[in-house]
Amino acid sequence: MIFLLLPLRLNLDGGGVGPQPPEHSDAPGDRLIPVRAQSRLIPVAADSRTLPVPTESRVMLVSLDDEAPMETRHQDPGDYLDYTRDFGEFLESGEELDEVTWEVSPSGPTLGTGPYASTISDDRKRATVWISSVGATLGRTYTITAQIATDNNPPRLKETSFKLEIVQQ
């Protein structure tokens, strides 16, 4: 993550960060993407080289990882539902999930226990968590995070998250 004090423009092609106005363009092919100050997530095409930053903003968080935006799921206030994450693309040939730990942030929804405890699939590539929205606040969004360890020695570690919004459906 990079913290930027604005107004600045981030050049994703290695040109760095500079105090250039958002309408500045280095080349005729540059594509500038307008961003409102209240925006939280800015999708940028893979071939995009410049991320303009609006002058009315003050601080912006920029993630330069290759992961897609976090998925958002919806759940009714009284639901107790299961969610499965597939780690098959992350795992190397012959590698399996060894351990999965789930977390909810901030507190509110609860993770399943007993017959609703989280599980790893028989093929050891997918993990399932059960979530009760009892105790969650209607209209609030929570982050559900899976932390996995593989059966490698030493184990490879991976963390992935999705958002869970509590809504009346």
Instruction: Going residue by residue through the chain, which has 169 residues, state the pLDDT in tens, using 9 for 90 and above.
Output: 333 333 334 444 444 444 444 444 444 444 444 444 444 455 555 544 455 555 444 444 444 444 557 899 999 999 999 999 999 999 999 999 999 999 999 999 999 999 999 999 999 999 999 999 999 999 999 999 999 999 999 999 999 999 999 999 8
Q: Contact, 110 vs 104, CB < 8 A?
A: yes
Residues 6+ apart with CB under 8 A from 2: 10, 17, 61, 62, 64
pLDDT given for residue 22 in this prediction: 44
Question: Per DSSP, what are the bridge partners of residue 142?
Answer: 164
d(CA 10, CA 16) in angstroms, rounded, equals: 6
- The class level of CATH for 72-166 reads mainly beta
Q: How far is CA 161 from CA 42, 86, 143, in A?
A: 18, 12, 7
Q: The sheet that has 9-11: what strands, in order across it?
A: 16-18, 9-11, 50-52
List the domain boundaries for the chain.
Answer: 1-69, 72-166
Tell how far CA 36 is from the center of its chain: 20
Enclosing H/E stretch for 169: none
pTM: 0.60
